[in-house]
Amino acid sequence: MLLIYVTHITPRTQYVFDLFFNNIFQLQYTVTADKAQFLEYTGPRISYTDNALGDELFFKSTPLLFETGIRYFELSGIDAREGEIHLKGFFATANSTLPFDAFASAFYLVSRYEEYLGDDVDHHGRFHAHNSVAYQQFFLLEPMVDLYAQVVVKRIQEKFPELTVKHSSYEVLSTVDVDMAWKYSHKGFVRNIGGFFSDLFKGNLVQCVERVRVLFGDKADPFQSFDFLENTAKESNIPVHFFWLLGNHGEYDKNTSVQKSPFRQLINRFKNISGIHFSYGSHTVVQGFKEEQKRYQSITGANATSSRFHFLKYKVDKDFPKLMEAGIQEEYSMGYAMHEGFRASIARPFLWFDLKANNVTELTIVPFMFMDASFRYHDDLKDEEIKEKIVHVMKRTKAVNGKLVTLWHNDTFEEKRNDWKNIYQWFNQIAK
């Protein structure tokens, strides 16, 4: 049993110790603020305080984990090396096991502390990747929090080799956002006529012909990739999880009507591996999340327990509490629309810490490491270049025994510029 001494136990210290020693690694530990108890303990022990008390392994603390509010920090990156592991941390320390406060650094990154500060967002109201410290300090492609934990646990094991430490297992999950289940089918007469003449006026005759062929049953709808996704999951033994867009039709919400029987049947076909894709418009209605949850329940007979935001449009402090009120237990939006990598600097699910309430919640955040749309819409890449980017985040996730979560769209596989079916099958072959 590892005993950890702090001057006083706070929700933040308890959260980070659980993150390091229950989530990333598994080792038995307890925390005490009783100095006498700590000094009398003869087993493995570490302290997280201002000054070492004896011959324990000492990690010098900085104020962040003992505070309750939110304030701005002028962060400077501090480099440290542990063998081949290159760490970039914050909150400098002296006469400590590490030259920075790894626990405070981890908390700052995982809690998304920086996303509570300021309103510099893009035109969809999203936090900019380039405003993140991970992007600015060049470690967006590294699961830095996992690396902190690796080094901390390594130092503990070196001093206390009798401690038993268990490692987590590498996992892979493919997720699919269904923004439009069909490109042409089941959209109704008005939408198809409007779409036909829009393509005609743009000179897109190929799409005009394709629409007619699909509607007359001469060609399969190009967005119907669900058999392909289901079969690939079975062949690779990599599970797939779907998120269904159920909001009202709008500028950014072009989904099939939830009243359409084929759409309801499709959702029910995969209801055991599905969640809700909260619409762009759900943010504009007071009870938007709850209303769309009701739609999901009316289709499947049960509430969705997992979610992802359409366009990845959300604010941590404003929207995550609403998710819990709507019955969501797992949230899958933690990633960037235009960058692959680790938005929360961690390669595994974690519990959300509500900074405003200053406590840990029961909402599990499941980060994704890359999205097909980042490569489709934001880069002009060849297939092999896309694969190189995928391999990098896959290797970094596997190196820390994390959970590699990927984001795809059912309409991606009709894309002609890249061979997305080949890329997806290739990924499923190598990911494990």
For the chain, the structural domain boundaries read 2-167, 171-182+223-430, 184-221
Segment 53-75 mean pLDDT: 96
Extract long-range pairs of 147-150: CB within 8 Å, 24+ residues apart: 147/85, 147/87, 147/400, 148/20, 148/87, 148/89, 148/102, 148/105, 148/106, 149/19, 149/20, 149/24, 149/25, 149/106, 150/24, 150/82, 150/85, 150/400
Q: Quick check: 221 and 214 in contact, CB under 8 A?
A: yes
Task: List pLDDT tens digits, range 357-409.
Answer: 999 999 999 999 999 999 998 778 999 999 999 999 999 999 999 999 999 99
The secondary structure of 262-328 as a DSSP string is HHHHHHHHTGGGEEEEE-GGGGGSTTHHHHHHHHHHHHHSS---EEEEGGG---HHHHHHHHHHTT-
pTM: 0.95
Segment 127-132 mean pLDDT: 94
Task: List pLDDT tens digits, range 249-304.
Answer: 899 999 999 999 999 999 999 999 999 999 999 998 889 999 999 999 999 999 99
pLDDT greater than 70 at residue 307: yes
Task: List pLDDT tens digits, range 199-229.
Answer: 677 777 777 767 778 778 788 999 999 999 9
Q: So what's the pLDDT on residue 201?
A: 76
SS3 24: helix
The topology (CATH level 3) of 171-182+223-430 is TIM Barrel (3.20.20)
Task: State the pLDDT confidence band at 120, using cuts at 50, 70 and 90.
Answer: confident
DSSP-based helix, strand, coil % in the chain, nearest 5: 40, 20, 40
Q: So what's the pLDDT on residue 196?
A: 64
pLDDT greater than 80 at residue 197: no
Task: State the pLDDT confidence band at 415, using cuts at 50, 70 and 90.
Answer: confident
- Closest C-alpha among 300, 339, 304, 334 to residue 319: 334
pLDDT greater than 80 at residue 90: yes
Q: So what's the pLDDT on residue 206?
A: 73
SS3 377: helix
Query: 3-state secondary structure string, 104-132?
Result: HHHHHHHCCHHHHCCCCECCCCCECHHHC
pLDDT greater than 90 at residue 194: no
SS3 57: strand
Considering the chain, what is the average pLDDT of its residues?
94
